[in-house]
Structure 1
């Protein structure tokens, strides 16, 4: 590795450390909560990868106003003073998720109508707060979403199906609490920041339908592969034999309020400011990307190479910052996640270029069903791999980016960060 690549890697590791430490993202939850009228008793409910941290801040703000509460998070080893913490699984639900979801649902049912409910939602809630619809076993539900997550479907499409297979999603919690004052604080982890998409929208009305869920499974050629119980349930829904999710036009929930925090954009801007202070000419993407991982990688690498070839207005040293959520159409039997896959694609694309390094990072610290958070590569990564008798293209074909990065020492591991703000890419040039 060259001296410049070493410098780039050190700087990109500093970016990651700052994100993990919360230096680049402070949503000011107390400030947001102060904008709502919250008199009387408060009940705090929540689900998602950031639900523990959000509930901790809510406890600090409301104090003795809190009557009771419960959140479902990926880890339950930590405790709060007034809010119970239950464990669920991600990216696929398990028995813990279902058990915790029943507990939260039963708690919600006993909240008096005169009390206020604060619902704290963040990414990962689709799996953590999940009760499969009647007749669908948890393993059948898991299989359905393993197929969908590997199909190349977008998160919005995946969550349309989730909302019609889970008893908690698609506004059903909102419907349960329709007479209550319900304040939903939603930390977005999806492009577009639509509240009905984030965490499959438990507390907000859902415009999607059973028919759309069916069409998505057909579009990705999964209808014949999903379990029979799933097909039966969706068919019943399309024929009106299972109730639809509550719709925006008929859900007159007058006492409900929603605040969506667009965390990824804020994070990207703060990363850009940090890199500017390090002497880089910086460009931050104006909006979240949402496309196939190969397309995202191609765009990012093209932008970087155009700086070197002087086809861009930017000059080295330059830093480009992107955020969003890519999709991966998994064909191979390997191991990886979309950030590791993006980084491997990029390493092949920039092979032999001068002084380019890239970070691709899952801000929750969990990239796919692996213990990695992403990867840091440079324009010499694949050259070195070939010297080591490794063929990067073979790893890519098998969707085995995890083992490529493990062998090349380009893997990034942080553990769970407690945030979930989409994926972040930073590419340094020169």
Structure 2
């Protein structure tokens, strides 16, 4: 048996992707029974379920020798492909992480900090900025070593003059629902990153994109949106209440009304899903002599 697997789960755990039909589960019957007991469902279970859970299975977590599981699509693979495309376009790719998760409010803050770090007008990025990044990153699924590696590469770019950088990441952040508007995590993340870029004292010139690889972000026709540091000025000039849209989780309506929807990412359904992809284009360092 050969299973060709498309992963839409952070970390690509084979037993969780599509419920892992060709992988033995690590869950034990007593753990399942405990959940049923907690919610007082044990007595109402069908006899077929009780029969399966009562069987002894001594080899949990093992896959039969005649089964070959192959991950042919994942967020990591998507980021690697995007990295190669960035090189073709003359950009310097830096992959941050395929495991970004957690509240979009904190994810947007991380991207704002990384933009400030990469585009700092000072010779060396402030150490307190690096400390903030290292503190916030693990809260949104980005390991400290990935953050250090990324910051080191961004510093090298400044010193060696690589030109424009393409920062890549992916995963599945979450949104705290406070309203009843139309939107999705990608559009709300893009909106919040736009606010971060707009609020920076020094406009970095960074451009940010967040999109779902399935082509649909939430119950909308868009996959995501593109934003930059001009977002707030553009919003104000068109009389839109950006905070009101955020409170109502109405990011799709916001981007639809802003500049006739030109910032929306509308590729159509792709027929696949390897979570979300985040792209932040960072302009060349403002420093001309960093030696």
CA distance in 2, matches of 1:348, 1:242: 55
- Counterpart of 2:117 in structure 1 is 306
CA offset digits 1:161-214 (Å, max 9, x no partner): xxxxxxxxxxxxxxxxxxxxx321111121100011112223322223436767
- Contact 2:97 2:168 (8 Å CA) reproduced: no
Question: Are 1:319 and 2:174 matched, yes or no?
Answer: no
Q: Deviations over 1:81-117 (max 9, x none)?
A: xxxxxxxxxxxxxxxxxxxxxxxxxxxxxxxxxxxxx
For residues 58 and 6 of structure 2, the distance between their equivalents in structure 1, rounded to whole angstroms, comes to: 21
Asked whether the equivalents of residues 116 and 204 of structure 2 are also in contact (C-alpha less than 8 Å), the reply is no
Q: Check 1:361–1:242 CA distance in 2 against 1; reply closer, same or farther (3 A cut).
A: farther
Aligned to 1:360: 210
CA displacement at 1:274 relative to structure 2 = 2.1
Note closer, same or farther for the CA distance 1:290–1:242 as it changes in structure 2 (3 Å cut).
farther
Structure 2 SS opposite 1:298 = helix
Correspondent of 1:374 among 224, 239, 249: 224
* Aligned residue among 258, 272, 282 for 1:419: 272
Give 1:260 shift: 2.1
CA deviations 1:346-377 (Å, max 9, x no partner) are 11111152312111010110111221110011
Partners of 1:207 and 1:248 within 8 A in 2: no
* Whole-Å separation in 2 of the counterparts to 1:235 and 1:276: 60
For the Cα contact (< 8 Å) 1:205–1:245, is it kept in 2? no
User: Compared with structure 1, are the counterparts of its residues 403 and 281 closer, same or farther at alpha carbon in structure 2 (3 Å cutoff)?
Assistant: same
Q: CA, structure 1 residues 263+391, in 2 after alignment: closer, same or farther (shift >3 Å)?
A: same
**Consecutive unaligned residues in structure 1, runs of 5 or more:** 1-181, 219-230
Task: Decide whether the 8 Å contact of 1:206 with 1:245 is kept in 2.
Answer: no
Does structure 1 residue 202 correspond to structure 2 residue 55?
A: no
User: How many aligned positions are there?
Assistant: 233
User: Which residue of the partner structure matches residue 332 of structure 1?
Assistant: 179
How far apart, CA to CA, are the structure 1 residues paired with 2:209 and 2:176?
A: 21
Cα deviation code 1:26-77 (max 9, x no counterpart)? xxxxxxxxxxxxxxxxxxxxxxxxxxxxxxxxxxxxxxxxxxxxxxxxxxxx
Aligned to 2:104: 293
Segments of 4+ moved more than 6 angstroms: 245-248
- Residue 279 of structure 1 aligns with which residue? 90
Counting only pairs closer than 5 Å after superposition, residues 207-222 of structure 1 correspond to structure 2 as 207-208=26-27, 209-210=31-32
Q: Offset at 1:429? A: 1.8
Aligned counterparts of 2:241 and 2:36: Cα–Cα separation in 1: 40
Paired with 1:367 and 1:334, the residues of 2 have a C-alpha distance of: 13
Determine the structure 1 residue equivalent to 2:188: 341
Paired position in structure 1 for 2:234: 384
Paired residue secondary structure (2:179):
coil
* Distance in 2 (alpha carbons) for counterparts of 1:210 and 1:369: 32
Give 1:406's aligned residue: 256
**TM-score using structure 2 length:** 0.70
Question: What SS does the corresponding residue of 1:343 show, helix, strand or coil?
Answer: helix
Q: Using the alignment, how far apart are the partners of 1:253 and 1:366 within structure 2?
A: 36
| Cα distance change on mapping 1:305 and 1:214 into 2, 3 Å | farther
Q: What residue in structure 2 maps to residue 393 of structure 1?
A: 243
The answer to whether the aligner puts 1:191 opposite 2:41 as a matched pair is no
Contact 1:289 1:326 in 2 (8 A): yes
Secondary structure in 2 aligned to 1:348?
Answer: helix
Unmatched tracts of structure 2, length 5 or more: 126-153, 284-291
Q: TM-score under structure 1 normalisation?
A: 0.49
Distance between the aligned counterparts of 1:235 and 1:303, measured in 2? 53
Q: Is the 8 A contact 1:205 1:248 kept in 2?
A: no
1:117-148 per-residue CA deviation (whole Å, 9 max, x = no partner) reads xxxxxxxxxxxxxxxxxxxxxxxxxxxxxxxx
- Higher RCO (CA-CA < 8 Å; seq separation 6+): 2
